[in-house]
Amino acid sequence: MNKRNIAIIAHVDHGKTTLVDEILKSTGTFRENEDTSNISMDTNQIERERGITILAKTTAVNYKGYRINILDTPGHADFGGEVERIMNMVDGVLLVVDAYEGTMPQTRFVLKKALEAKVKPIVVINKVDKPAARCKEVIDEVLELFMELGATDEQLDFKVVYASAINGTSSLSPDITTQTKGFDGLLDYIISEIPAPSGSNDNPLQFQPALLDYNDFVGRIGIGRIHNGIMKVGQSVSCIRLDGTVKQFRIQKLFGYLGLKKIEIEKAEAGDIVAVAGLSDISVGETLCNSDELLPLPILHIDEPTLQMTIGTNSSPFCGNDGKILTARKIEERLMKETQRDVSLKVAPNDTESWIVSGRGELHLGILIENMRREGFELEVSKPRVIIKEENGKKLEPYEELQIECPEESVGNVIEQLGHRGASMESMNNINGQVRLIYTIPSRGLIGFTTNFLTITKGYGIINHTFKEYKEITNVDVGERSLGVLVSIDTGKATAYSLGGLEDRGIMFIEPGTDVYEGMIVGEHSRENDLAVNVTKGKNLTNIRAAGSDHTVVLKRPRPISLEYALDYINSDELVEVTPHFIRLRKRILNTTERKKFDSRN
C-alpha cells in the first residue's frame, strides 16, 4: 500500500486534535454503528479536561488506496521536544492556524522545527466559522513567518485549506459559503503534495525510536519510523546505543496504528510508523539494525530540562488522612516509571525522603504531580526553580520569548510588573483595542507571573511563552512573591468568628470548618510581612449571647487554590502539600517559635 507520513503542528488550542478526530470520522475509520460522539485522540483524562495535548499520538487512515499515518503533536512549549523528534518520522506537516488569532509564539516554534527538518508544509486555516475570522490577513501573517524563518522557495509554495474542524467541514476557498462536509480536498493535497517516505525494503534494516510508550507487560516500547528494511516479530536485531555500545535482542511484539487502535502486526516495511517491544530500556535516538550490518542513524536531539522542583513524602500533621500511597519507596518507583515514558524528565535523589525532579516547565511538572495525586499519592512539593548552567566560568540561565495580548486599560500595569521581573520589550502592537506585547524574559521572572497577570487583566489577558536561549545570569531579584501570608498558629477547625475578625488583614484561602494545622498558610497578608494568626478561636459564650449567633457572620468567598496557582504562589521557604482531595499551602518550618528564630537569623 502507498504511504504518506505527516505531523499536525500548531499553537495551543488552534484545533489540531479536533481536526484529527474529524478526519478519522470523515474517512470511515469507524464502523457505522460505532459511537463516535466521544471519540478523541486525547485519551488521558487531564488532556480531555484541559483541552490540551500532552503526549504525541499516532494514528492512521486509509484513503483512496493510501495509508496516511498522522502524528498529533502537543502545542504547548513545555512539550516542544516531542515536536522536534517527530519531524524525523514524517515527510510533511499540516500547519494549523486559527483564522482569528493568526500566528502565535508556538506557531513560530513548531514551524521553525519543521522548516529545519526540510519537510513539506500544507497550511490549514482553521475555525473559519468564527464571526471574527480574518482569513486573508492570517495567510499574509503565515507567509511573513515562513519568510522570516528562512523558508526555501519550495517550502514557500504551500497549499492552503480552509476548515472548521469542529463542524467537520472544509474547502479550498476562503469564502465560508463554499465549506462542505468532510476533508477530501485536504487528504487529496496530502497525497499529491507530501512526498512518499524515502527508504527501501531491500536495504539493511534501520529503525529509530523518536517517542516512548510504556506497558506493564512488555516494559518500554519504542515508537518510530522504519527508515530502511523490513522488521518481523521474533527477528533478532542489534540496538546501537547512544554511547556507541551494541546490544542484541529479539523483537517480542510489533504494533501498527489505524484509527484510535493500536494493532498487533507480524511484519512492517520501510516507511511504516510502528511501535517495537522487546528491549526493556530502549531509548530515544538509538538505532535498531540487522546484527550483521550496523548502520547507525544520526542521534536525535533531546531538549534539556530548564526547571526543577523537589518532590518528597508528606511531612504535615495531616499525613495519611486522605491518600493511600505515602512511602518514599512508592514515590520513587512512580517517578522512575515516569522517566521510562518521558525522556524530557530527569529524577535525582535529594535525600532519603525527597527527589529533585527536572522538566521543561511548570505545566510539564504540574501534570506529573496532578497524575500522581489522582493515583492516591500524598506529596510535598517545593517552589519550581530554574536550572542554572555553567559554561566557561559564567553562570547562564534560561530566557524565554513572552507574547502577551491584553486590553488597552491593563497595559500600563502589565509593563510595570514585567519591568520588575527583568523583562525587556521587543515590540508592541495595537490590534482592535487589544495590545500585543513581545518580551524576552528570564524563565525565573515567569514563575508566579501567570496568576498575577490574570488578576491585572481581569482574566481577559492571553499569555504564551517559548524557550529562547541560555544567557548570562542577571542580578535582578525576581520570582519571589512580594506580599506576606497569614499563617495558622493552632491546629483545629477554622471558625467563622475568627475568619471574620481577620478579613481586614488580607484575603483568606479557607472557609469555616476547614481543618488547619500550625504552620499552614490560611490567607494572603495585605502587607509584605508574614503574620501568625489564630483561625480556630470560637466566640466566648455568655448567658446573654445565644450559641447560634455565630451564623450571622457574613464572609467574603475565599480565594480558590488550584495546583498551578499553588506552585506559582509559594516562596522558597514554603511548600505545597498535595493529596488526592486537598491542596494546602504551608511553611517549611511549621512550629511558629522555631520559624521566627530561623527568620531572625536570616
Q: In angstroms, rounded to a whole number, what is the distance separating the alpha carbons of residues 479 and 362?
A: 13
- Residue 214: pLDDT band (50, 70, 90) is confident
Q: Which residue has the cell 482574566?
A: 459
Q: Which residue has the cell 513524602?
A: 313
Q: In angstroms, rounded to a whole number, what is the distance separating the alpha carbons of residues 368 and 108?
A: 27
Query: Hey, do 307-386 and 389-472 end up sharing a CATH topology, with the first three levels equal?
Result: yes
Question: 307-386: CATH homologous superfamily?
Answer: Elongation Factor G (Translational Gtpase), domain 3 (3.30.70.870)
Sign of CA dihedral 310, 315, 317, 320: positive
The domain segmentation of the chain, as residue ranges, is 2-193, 206-290, 307-386, 389-472, 485-601
Sign of CA dihedral 318, 324, 329, 331: negative
CATH of 206-290, one of 2.40.30.10, 2.40.160.40, 3.30.460.20, 3.40.50.300: 2.40.30.10
Is the pLDDT at 402 greater than 50, yes or no?
yes
- Residue 31: pLDDT band (50, 70, 90) is very low
Is the pLDDT at 228 greater than 80, yes or no?
yes
The 485-488 sheet, strands edge to edge: 506-508, 521-525, 485-488, 531-533
- Entry pTM: 0.77
Encode burial over 12-34: b for 16+ CB neighbours within 10 A, e otherwise. bbbbbbbbbbbbbbbbebeeeee
C-alpha cell at 108: 513560530
Whether domain 389-472 has CATH 1.10.40.30? no
- Residue 15: pLDDT band (50, 70, 90) is confident
C-alpha cell at 31: 464502523
Average confidence (pLDDT) over 404-432: 85
Nearby residues of 601 by Cβ (< 8 Å), 6 or more positions away: none
- Say if CB 233 and CB 253 are below 8 A apart: yes
Tell me, what's the pLDDT at 333?
A: 92
Q: What is the pLDDT of residues 98-131, one digit of tens each?
A: 888 888 777 887 888 888 888 899 999 998 888 8
- Residue 544: pLDDT band (50, 70, 90) is low
**CATH topology assigned to domain 2-193:** Rossmann fold (3.40.50)
Is the pLDDT at 260 greater than 80, yes or no?
no
Tell me, what's the pLDDT at 304?
A: 76
Q: What is the pLDDT of residues 83-107, one digit of tens each?
A: 777 888 889 999 999 888 888 777 8
Q: What is the pLDDT of residues 489-500, one digit of tens each?
A: 999 999 988 888
Nearby residues of 25 by Cβ (< 8 Å), 6 or more positions away: 36, 39, 168
- Please state the separation of Cα 579 from the chain's center in Å: 21
Is the pLDDT at 310 greater than 90, yes or no?
yes
Tell me, what's the pLDDT at 551?
A: 55
Arch. (CATH architecture) of 485-601: Beta Barrel (2.40)
Is the pLDDT at 550 greater than 70, yes or no?
no
